[in-house]
Structure formats: structure tokens, C-alpha cells
Amino acid sequence: MQFTLSWLELVAVLLAGGGIVAGLSIAGLLFVRETGSREANVALGAFLLVTSLLVLYVLLLYVQPMGENLGIVFAPLPFTFALGPLLYAYVRARLGQGRPGWVHGVLPIAQAVLILGVALAPERTQQVYMGEVFAPWWGMVRTVIFVLSFAFYLALSWRAVRDARPLAFEWAAERNAWLRQVLRIAAVALVVAVIFNLIGPMFPRLPGQTFWGISWISFIEVLVYSAILYVVALGGWVQAGLGPGTSRELRPETERKEHYNLEPARADGHAAALAALVREEKPHLDPNLSLGSLASQLGVTDKVLSYLFNETLGTSYTEFVNGLRVDEAKARLADPANAPLTVLAVGLDAGFASKSTFNRVFKEATGETPSAFRQRAAAEREGARPDAS
């Protein structure tokens, strides 16, 4: 198979390739990032991965002669049914609402099984599938299902953001504004996908027309999808705090004291300001809180805040924030008004990023699991002795 590209098409290929590399790279960084909300990082990374593979698929179809290579046509790349659920999972994770139910994975898994089955099938089977299934009806049905599925999850995501518990904190307002921006971009991408999928059936002669030696509709499609991928990748980079100027949370085993001179009076003033910030705005409820973001809210540098924790308060950033989150969780678990909420929901609302972290930190601080603490608190309210378990 031989590819013949004009200089303009080559530019489009290079731009798309750069977007794909950026998307895959940031997805990989999100998968291994240990700070912030682990579930949100994984969901956003998976969304970027699937989006990058989809743009790669569109690019491969663009550079090959039309329908010449079934190996490219049936490459295991366009897992479109996963985009909606992954977007919804990311929104829920950023809002601290936990993972969606298993039912949301049924359609993506079914599509993945079909795609992999066809990709691994003999060429003869692929030819029969193309002539008797994909071309006559499945290609269009697949597009319709994707559009309806993605629109459905867009609506679910928008409702989740709209109905999120109102928090009068700056970090919460910024988070919700970012999520709304993501959903707007996703809506634009959906409209673009619908337009490009309708052009062929409605105007069958247009795709074959050329301008400056290129198939201009496919050329525009590649550029538009690449632009969307760049925007999502850049947004993921910024929001996940992957930039070189973003401070990372410090682990207890690696946290070190910063040598920084701070007068006692100023240190006491910063400590009082920190106490007021915690009391009034509760920044620890943000699962993506970091040393740098807390310092920014306090109006000091990372070094000043690190010194404040280590030298003035006699603790570390991680211990300080986890202590606040444990106290918050204890108060919520003991409150009968929160009885309808699961233990995990309470932990996420208290600022913990995952179930495992919540259980580990809570037990280290209290000597019992969150479930046991809730049972004991309920028993004490009723004047009964708590279960031994």
C-alpha cells in the first residue's frame, strides 16, 4: 500500500500526530499520578486514551486509499461507546460522587468484544462482515447508538454538576466551572461528529470532491478532531496539576522540612490565617487539594507553608489535612442525618480521594474502621452497647 500526500495533507497529519502523542502522554501521566483524586485521574486518563485512539483511527482512514486496507478499517481503535461513560465517571469522581454502577460498562464492553473479534478474524470473514453487516446497516446503527449514548451521558453529567451540593468555596467554584467547560467541549465534539457522519449519506458526491488536491471534508474532519484532542489534553494537563509549576502533595515518608526563616510573629499570624481558612472554607474537602493550592489560598509560598507546618505546628501537610478529613468524617458518620449515605460517600464528601485511603487513614487515626465507628456511634445514641464486631 502506498500513501501519496500533498504538503497540506502532510501538515494535517503532523498536527493530528502531535495531538495523539500529547493525548497518550498525558493519559499515561494521569494513570500513574498518585496525588489528587485517583478515580478522577484514571477516568480522565482513560477518556484521553480512547479519544486519542479515535483520532488515530480517523487519521489512518484519511491517509490510506479509500477502503483499500481492511486491516485499518477494522483496527481495534474506535471504542466510541466508552466515551460517554468515561466522561460521566470523570465528572462524578471530581464531584466526589463515587463510581457509576457496573451497568454503565455493558455497552462499551460489548463494543470492545465486537471490535476485537472482527480485528482478529481472518480477512475473508472481515470481507463478509463488511459486505453483509457493516456497510449495509451496522455502520449507521453504530453511529446512531454512539450519538444517543454520548448525548445521554452528557445530560447525566450536566445534571450531576448542576445538582452538586452547593459549596461556597473558591476551589469548588473553580472545579464546577472547569467541569461545565469540559461538557461544553464534549457537546461541540458531538455536534461535529454528527455533522461529519451526516455529510456522506446526505451528499454522497461531496466526499470525493477535491480542493487543492485534497479531499477537503476528510481534511477538515482530521483538523477539527485534532483541535478538540489538543484542547482536552491541555485541559487534562492543567486540571490534574501535571505542569512543572504545580506543587505535588508530599508523602509522609518523603516529606522534608524546608529551611526557611520566618519570624515568630509572622508565623503565628499565618497559623491564625490557616485556622480561619480551614474553619470558614474547609479546603480539605477538596480531594485534589495540594500543598501548593493550599498555599495559594492562604496567600503564601509553598516554602512558607511547609515551614509553618514543620516548625510552628509540629506536623506535616499530609498529617494536617488527613486529620481534618478524619474529624470531618467522624462528625458526619456520627450524624444520624447522614444515615442514608454509604460509608464511602461520607469519606468522599470528607475529602478523601478513594475508599482505600479513607479506610487506612481513618483506622490509623481512630483505631477502628469507618463502618465500626458508625455502628458504635449509632449504638451509643440508642443507649446500647456496640457490637463486638
The alpha carbon dihedral of 321, 322, 327, 328 has a sign of positive
Q: Which of 43, 46, 57 is nearest to 24 (CA)?
A: 46
| Superfamily classification of domain 264-381 | Homeodomain-like (1.10.10.60)
Contacts of 184 (CB under 8 A, 6+ apart): none
Give the domain ranges of the chain: 7-239, 264-381
Task: Please determine whether the domains at 7-239 and 264-381 fall in the same fold group of CATH.
Answer: no
Give the amino acid at 78: P
209-266 pLDDT, tens per residue? 554 445 666 777 788 888 888 988 887 777 666 654 443 333 333 334 444 556 777 7
pTM above 0.75, yes or no: no
* CATH T-level fold of 7-239: Rhopdopsin 7-helix transmembrane proteins (1.20.1070)
45-78 pLDDT, tens per residue? 999 999 999 999 988 887 776 556 788 889 999 9
13-36 pLDDT, tens per residue? 888 899 999 999 999 988 887 655
Long-range contacts of 363-366 (CB under 8 A, 24+ apart): 365/322, 365/323, 365/326, 366/326, 366/330
